[in-house]
Amino acid sequence: MTPPDALPDPLPPPDPDRRSLLRAAGASLALATAAGCDVGPQEFGSPLYAPARGADAASAGLRRYATVLDLDGLGRGVLVRARDGHAIKIEGNPRHPASLGATDVFLESAVLALHDPARSRRLRRYGRVERDAALFARYMAEQRAALAATGGQGFRLLTGPIASPTQRRLIAALLAQWPGARWHVHAPLADAAAAAGARLAFGEAVTPLPDLSRATTVLCLGADPLGPGPAQLAQARGWAEARARGRQAGRLPALIVAESTPSLTGAKADRLLVLPPWEIEALARAVAAELGVAAAEGATHPEAAALAASLRAAGAEACVLAGRGQAVAVHALAHAINATLGAEIPCIADPNAAEAGTLEELSDAVAAGQVTHLLVLDANPVFDAPAPLDMAALLRAVPHSLHAGGQVDETALACGWHLPLRHPLECFGDSRAFDGTAALRQPATMPLVEAARAPEELLGALAGLPGDGLALVQETWRGVWGEAFAENWLVALEAGVIADSATPPQVLPLRADFALPSATPQPSTPVALFAPDPNLWDGRFATEAWLQELPRPLGNLAWGNAVLMAPADARAAGVAEGAVVELRLGGQTLRAPVLVVPGQAPGVVTLPLGGGRRAAGGVPGAVGIDAYRLRPAASPWLAEGLQIRATGAEAWAERGAEHALAGDTPRVRRLAPDQAVPPLPPPRSLYPDWTYPGHAWGMAIDLDTCIGCNACVVACQAENNTPVVGPEESARGRAMHWLRVDRVVTGTAEAPQVDYQPVPCMHCEKAPCEVVCPVNATVHDHEGLNLMVYPRCIGTRTCSNNCPYKVRKFNWAGYARQADAVPVRNPEVPLRPRGVIEKCTYCQHRIKGAQDVARQEGRALRDGEITTACQAACPTRAIHFGDINDPDSDVSRAKSQGRNYALLGNLDTRPRTTYLAKLVG
């Protein structure tokens, strides 16, 4: 038994306002500088060390730390760029299997969450700030003593999904210490059907680990492997590799997608079937029947024969994936088809799988009066649990409740006590990736919130285990490595990944007695389909201004979400895009704006989860709709009995179209593998051509591999201090993104062809913007960059008028310096004042930085040494950047392909940024 004060004393809380936060940050900076940049202040106990191998030591004060950030409990390795002790930018860790050097929007925004002024900073009692830290320590001691006396009877731990070895070890220790205690896991986006399907097929609840890089035909049954999620980066990379090989071989791999609501995977599909969920199941059965899966015998579907034929042709190189929200039978059939085809999809046990109860069981236990103590660790059930459970009332029924979390969220306000948690970038820990690969989490900055504790420390203190977070993590790995700990520890920290720690995958045979549950009857339409929000995920990212302002892949929506309806359904309900409808489901009602999307299955209304947070830190008010309020506990993904009523209100007026316009050369070109883009007529100009004796920077964006994930957009925003303008200004069309991803829809409403096209500055050779600026504020540099001279700009905006690509953004207000501006800034890029135009610079500071390093080392620049922020983030490596004067550079090789073309090439602006046409088989 540990002494009652085992939980470290939180320091007295600092003054709440923002200024003092900045003062605190300034003080941390001063401390860091005094300590020589790489060692944090000792009172926080977390020295910063072990920069990643290959970190550019040449630039003083700049460090990269390899660490890991979790999504849904599964880790993705990152390199954190820190300047003078401050984490300023997240980049992917090439060695980590769940990152492979790329990032997604959630990873990119982690630095913003770290620096969020609205982070939880103080202890709270019933939602109110409690300044007496000793009171909390006393309370904890008393309760621990009381629980120790009863063997933890009545103690419940509620967490999100946890794969971290250390956290699991501590929870196990806690449960061992208190036999009466129980652990419950609440994962709003977990899908029990996947495990049930695997059990049906293999007898074990395993997760498939498809290697899309070797698949030549992929059938997605509602699966979205290219969409956001813990394995997105690896799967997207795999798909892109298969695609690249297919391009070279002249035989493109086939991606066949059957989906009910548009997804990123659906946009890349070579064949897209828009089907409601019950028809997807029917299709899965019919395809299985065609391929000889005995259990599915007799099922038919008009599309099945063709799909079965292509799967059969691919044989062992086929891969069938079932997605979130699909019926158990679909998951089971996906496994069965793979097994029948001999596709040998490796499977592992879900790293998140745990011997833990569910939220419903916790709810029942509370109702039965069995729970006296509840610790909610880094979860927000009051917001993201199905509404019928009424978590707020549940928490009120528990005599002693403690919420530990990084934000003062809905659950923090509903619990008796709230303890701020450290951000993952501030503390030691570890995690497992989707494939089981373990990685160490290390602080990349000094802790910015004094009162905050690491989750490991809290669990350790409860379990009576001594030591801080570092000691607890080391203890875990000392147990794994034994004698080799000393040598392995630093290696693992530096690499950001623990070598050979992936769970060994196994290929399981189909159960001999494989049988399917009876087919799901067709429900009465419309049905509600619940889906995670592409920007807010389950709602935990609602506090990130970058993600709120990021236009969603669908409908260009920022600062708010909408329900998705098929054009036919919208017509039937008598609503147009932007109209507000009232949705009624299971006695709950919700008013929500409508987005009419081609590619949505008729009869299916998609309700995005994660919006409408009532307590989301600094983000003002409730942004968007909260679909959790309609979500039934029994069927969390698909609910029958949805009623839709038009209200006559309008959320936004009709906006300009995102569709391609008739009469233009298609902006996204499509080619057969053996075709080439026809060359443009020779350019003419009154002005002499520029000459570039040295370097000439250029970019090529491969539209065949771009999946429209938006990672580049957030990476650009983080790198270039692009300001957040807020919901009002964003609605006025003043968002500042230097890089945008345009969604180009062609085809019909039932069979849309969706393309994503990232549009940065084109750095035109004959830049129309340069000619019209009256004061020479936008000029051509000696390496061909089209640059803005901010101090010279007087803000006529005429350059934006003359830019056919509309990539120039104007500081209508002093966004970067206003009081609620985003608190994280890259010191290498200036903040732009009010009244000037800004735009993509090809990350000119990175170019100059690399040139400086090369010059100091007395060598020429190497190709690939300079990566732009967007390029580094891209999971499919669709962005190529480099010196087009060098014929052997990556970008020159990309541009020399026959599918290279300029956007609006007919205007003869001669863009440096070109596109590689999409290939169609």
Partner 1 sequence: MSGAEFTTRPVSDPPLREDFGWRFAGAVAGAGLLTLLLAYAVVALLIEGTALWGTNIPFVWGFDLINYVWWIGIANAASLFAVVLVLRRHGLRTAVNRFAEAAALAAVAAAAIYPILHLGRPWLFYWTFPYPATYQVWPNFRSTLVWDFWGIMSHVVVTGLFWYTGLIPDLATMRDRAVARSRMVQARIYGVAALGWRGSVRHWARHQAAYRLVAAMVLPMLVSAQTIVALEFATTLVPEWHQARLPLHVVATGIPSGLGVVLALAALLRGGLGLTRYIDDDDMRLLAKLTAAAALACGYLYAEALLVAVLEDATTRQAIAARAFGAYAGLYWGGALLVVVVPQLLWLKRAQIQARWAVPIGIGAAAGVWLDRFSLVAGGLLRDHLPNPAPLYVPTVPEWTLLAGTIGLFALLMLGFARFVPVVSMYETRHEESEADVP
Q: What is the DSSP string of 834-850?
A: TT-EE---SSHHHHHHH
How far is residue 198's CA from residue 203's CA, in Å, rounded to a whole number?
Answer: 7
The answer to whether residue 655 forms part of the interface with partner 1 (CB under 8 A) is yes
Q: Which is nearer to partner 1, 163 or 759 (CB)?
A: 759
Q: Which is nearer to partner 1, 191 or 742 (CB)?
A: 742
User: In whole angstroms, how close is the CB of 668 to partner 1 at the nearest point?
Assistant: 11
| Site track for partner 1 across 876-915, x = CB under 8 A | ---------------------------xx--x--------
Q: Which of residues 765-804 bind partner 1 (CB under 8 A)?
A: 768, 771-776, 792-798, 800-804
The answer to whether residue 810 forms part of the interface with partner 1 (CB under 8 A) is yes
User: In whole angstroms, how close is the CB of 723 to partner 1 at the nearest point?
Assistant: 12
Name the one range near partner 1 by CB under 8 A: 161-169, 501-509, 688-696, 828-836: 828-836
DSSP three-state, residue 881: strand
User: In whole angstroms, how close is the CB of 533 to partner 1 at the nearest point?
Assistant: 19
User: In whole angstroms, how close is the CB of 800 to partner 1 at the nearest point?
Assistant: 5
Q: Cβ neighbours of residue 366 under 8 Å, at least 6 residues apart?
A: 374, 394, 397, 398
Q: Which is nearer to partner 1, 171 or 803 (CB)?
A: 803
Q: Which is nearer to partner 1, 634 or 662 (CB)?
A: 662
The answer to whether residue 837 forms part of the interface with partner 1 (CB under 8 A) is yes
The answer to whether residue 812 forms part of the interface with partner 1 (CB under 8 A) is yes
Show the tokens assigned to 157: 């731990």
How far is residue 57's CA from residue 50's CA, in Å, rounded to a whole number?
Answer: 12
User: In whole angstroms, how close is the CB of 227 to partner 1 at the nearest point?
Assistant: 22
If you search the block for the tokens 């038994």, which residue do you land on? 1
Eight-class DSSP state of 51: B
User: In whole angstroms, how close is the CB of 773 to partner 1 at the nearest point?
Assistant: 6
How far is residue 384's CA from residue 398's CA, in Å, rounded to a whole number?
Answer: 19
The answer to whether residue 522 forms part of the interface with partner 1 (CB under 8 A) is no
DSSP three-state, residue 179: coil
Q: Which amino acid is at 476?
A: T
The answer to whether residue 647 forms part of the interface with partner 1 (CB under 8 A) is no
Q: Which is nearer to partner 1, 353 or 907 (CB)?
A: 907
CA distances to 523, 586, 638, 643, 909 from 589, rounded to whole Å, are 20, 8, 17, 9, 53
User: In whole angstroms, how close is the CB of 561 to partner 1 at the nearest point?
Assistant: 16
Nearest to 699 by CA among 628, 774, 786, 639: 786
Judged by CB under 8 A, which of 805, 842, 881, 915 binds partner 1? 805
Dihedral (CA of 310, 316, 317, 321) sign: positive
How deeply is 97 buried, as exposed, middle or buried, from its count of CB atoms within 10 A (0-12, 13-18, 19+)? buried
User: In whole angstroms, how close is the CB of 782 to partner 1 at the nearest point?
Assistant: 17
| Site track for partner 1 across 723-762, x = CB under 8 A | ------x-xxxx-------x----------------x---
Q: Which is nearer to partner 1, 156 or 740 (CB)?
A: 740
Nearest to 168 by CA among 404, 473, 485: 473
Q: Which amino acid is at 594?
A: V
User: In whole angstroms, how close is the CB of 297 to partner 1 at the nearest point?
Assistant: 49
Q: Which amino acid is at 118?
A: A
User: In whole angstroms, how close is the CB of 555 to partner 1 at the nearest point?
Assistant: 9
The answer to whether residue 128 forms part of the interface with partner 1 (CB under 8 A) is no
| Site track for partner 1 across 349-388, x = CB under 8 A | ----------------------------------------
User: In whole angstroms, how close is the CB of 799 to partner 1 at the nearest point?
Assistant: 9
The answer to whether residue 576 forms part of the interface with partner 1 (CB under 8 A) is no
User: In whole angstroms, how close is the CB of 660 to partner 1 at the nearest point?
Assistant: 7
Q: Which is nearer to partner 1, 509 or 620 (CB)?
A: 620
Judged by CB under 8 A, which of 149, 486, 657, 819 binds partner 1? 657
Judged by CB under 8 A, which of 157, 280, 660, 788 binds partner 1? 660
Q: How many helices (H) and strands (E) does the chain have?
A: 27, 37
Judged by CB under 8 A, which of 500, 662, 674, 858 binds partner 1? 662
Show the tokens assigned to 334: 């996906």
Judged by CB under 8 A, which of 483, 664, 674, 857 binds partner 1? 664
Q: Which is nearer to partner 1, 491 or 731 (CB)?
A: 731
Q: Which is nearer to partner 1, 333 or 759 (CB)?
A: 759
534-549 burial string, b = 16+ CB within 10 Å, else e? Answer: bbbbbbbbbbbbbbbb
Eight-class DSSP state of 161: -
324 contacts 261 by C-beta, under 8 angstroms: no
The answer to whether residue 808 forms part of the interface with partner 1 (CB under 8 A) is yes
The answer to whether residue 218 forms part of the interface with partner 1 (CB under 8 A) is no
Q: Which is nearer to partner 1, 149 or 661 (CB)?
A: 661
Name the one range near partner 1 by CB under 8 A: 200-208, 362-370, 424-432, 831-839: 831-839
The site that binds partner 1 (CB under 8 A) totals a number of residues, namely 57
Q: Which is nearer to partner 1, 499 or 771 (CB)?
A: 771
Helices (H), 10-109: 18-34, 105-108
* Secondary structure element (H or E) that encloses residue 125, with its range: strand 124-125
User: In whole angstroms, how close is the CB of 303 to partner 1 at the nearest point?
Assistant: 32
User: In whole angstroms, how close is the CB of 735 to partner 1 at the nearest point?
Assistant: 9
Judged by CB under 8 A, which of 31, 835, 898, 900 binds partner 1? 835
DSSP lists the bridge partners of residue 810 as 837
| Site track for partner 1 across 605-644, x = CB under 8 A | ----------------------------------------
Q: What is the DSSP string of 240-276?
A: HHHHHHHHHHT-PPEEEEEESS--HHHHT-SEEEE--
Q: How many CB atoms lie within 10 A of CB 243?
A: 21
* Secondary structure element (H or E) that encloses residue 507, with its range: none
* Secondary structure element (H or E) that encloses residue 461, with its range: helix 455-463
The answer to whether residue 59 forms part of the interface with partner 1 (CB under 8 A) is no
How deeply is 624 buried, as exposed, middle or buried, from its count of CB atoms within 10 A (0-12, 13-18, 19+)? buried
Q: What is the DSSP string of 759-813?
A: E-----TT-HHHHH-TT--EEE-TTS-EEE-GGG-----HHHHH-TT---EE-SS
How far is residue 614's CA from residue 619's CA, in Å, rounded to a whole number?
Answer: 10
Q: Note the residues at the interface with partner 1 (CB under 8 A).
A: 556, 652-653, 655-664, 667, 729, 731-734, 742, 759, 768, 771-776, 792-798, 800-806, 808-814, 833-837, 903-904, 907
